[in-house]
Amino acid sequence: MELAGKIALVAGATRGTGRGIAVELGAAGATVYVTGRSTRGNRSEIDRPETIEETAELVTAAGGSGIAVAVDHLDSAAVKDLVARIDREQGRLDILVNDIWGGDHLTEWDVKIWEHDLDKGLRLLRLGVETHLVTSHHALPLLIRNRGGLVVEVTDGTAEYNAANYRLSAFYDLAKAAPLRMAFGLAKELEEYGGTAVCLTPGWIRSEGMLNHYGVTEENWRDALTDQPHFAISETPAFTGRAVAALAADPDVHRWTGQSLSSGGLAKVYGYTDVDGSRPDAWRYLVEVDQTSKVADTTGYR
């Protein structure tokens, strides 16, 4: 296994992209600490059934070693304790994935900033930005102890797409722009330590929440195409997970440092596929097909 002996922290791994990343790192042989607020004994404010214990079990079942740790990444002391535990148990950290989010339920779409609930908007920013800063502050001293560490900031949208498209909420737009700049800055700060930092976005992801939104499961997700035909370009969380695993296993990963990357774009370079064997290129599709009001057709895009 390409990542055997590597230690990863996937911050925000309860569900969705974070879970997909953790499992695929496990499939490559890594030991993965998975964090989040939802446990079998306590749900977060999102009030969904997925738990970090389930994610850890999936990591182990995939071939790695999954370790669940309940952490609110707004709690600096808790994050400091988490990193101290990783240091105590493993003595190193090779991969840090900042995937903490949990702000979808706070976003008011197509609402002017002066009409958006301010408390919800500021809470959204704390969850999507402050958590990443707190985690990097505490985790990076351990990561830079050994050269070659990798930091992956996870966002929604490539730098090119987000620069040209307003994300329909001032708070959401800012929250998803911030990780792009964080990765750029971290790349500069990690350079002298041989570290790499990138920002990575999935495409239109079939997360648990998205499947629920359309009233489908992973097994029958295509039933949603009747109401939303462009959902045909969607991808599983495993696709982004395989992107991170490919980056972590690449001896020349530093070529990407500071850049904005996507699951579909990296698939063309590394050759991995989604679970159905396809390689969906969602961001190109959204610009060239969806936004130009063309009939849904993924030919040439997956």
Mean pLDDT over 277-295 rounds to 94
> How many Å apart are CA 36 and CA 100, to the nearest integer?
8
pLDDT of residue 227: 92
pLDDT at 142 over 90: yes
pLDDT of residue 46: 85
pLDDT confidence bin for 47, thresholds 50/70/90: confident
pLDDT of residue 1: 85
Lowest-confidence pick of 44-48, 169-173, 190-194, 234-238: 44-48
pLDDT of residue 173: 97
Query: If you write DSSP's letter for every residue of 7-33 in order, what string do you get?
Result: EEEEES-SSHHHHHHHHHHHHTT-EEE
Mean pLDDT over 142-160 rounds to 97
Does the pTM surpass 0.85? The reply is: yes
Mean pLDDT over 204-208 rounds to 95
Q: Are 267 and 243 in contact (CB under 8 A)?
A: yes
Which residue bears the tokens 């698939």?
267
pLDDT at 294 over 90: yes
Q: Are 59 and 22 in contact (CB under 8 A)?
A: yes
Q: From 3.30.200.20, 3.30.750.24, 3.40.50.920, 3.40.50.720, which CATH number describes the 7-205+237-274 domain?
A: 3.40.50.720
Q: How many CA atoms lie within 13 A of 257 on its CB side?
A: 21
pLDDT confidence bin for 80, thresholds 50/70/90: very high
Please give the order of strands across the beta sheet that includes 31-36. Answer: 65-70, 31-36, 7-11, 95-98, 150-154, 196-201, 260-262
**Those residues with Cβ within 8 angstroms of residue 110's Cβ, 6 or more apart along the chain or in another chain:** 168, 169
Residue 255, amino acid: R
Q: What percentage of the chain carries pLDDT values higher than 70?
A: 100
- Give the residue extent of every domain in the chain: 7-205+237-274
pLDDT at 267 over 90: yes
Q: What are phi and psi of 22, to 5 degrees?
A: -60, -45
pLDDT at 164 over 90: yes
Mean pLDDT over 159-173 rounds to 95
Query: By C-alpha distance, which of 13, 184, 172 is closest to 100?
Result: 13
pLDDT confidence bin for 121, thresholds 50/70/90: very high
Query: By C-alpha distance, which of 144, 134, 152, 147 is closest to 96?
Result: 152
| Cross-strand partners of 198 | 152
**Average pLDDT along the chain:** 96
Question: How many whole angstroms from its chain centre is CA 15?
Answer: 10
| Cross-strand partners of 46 | none
pLDDT of residue 42: 86
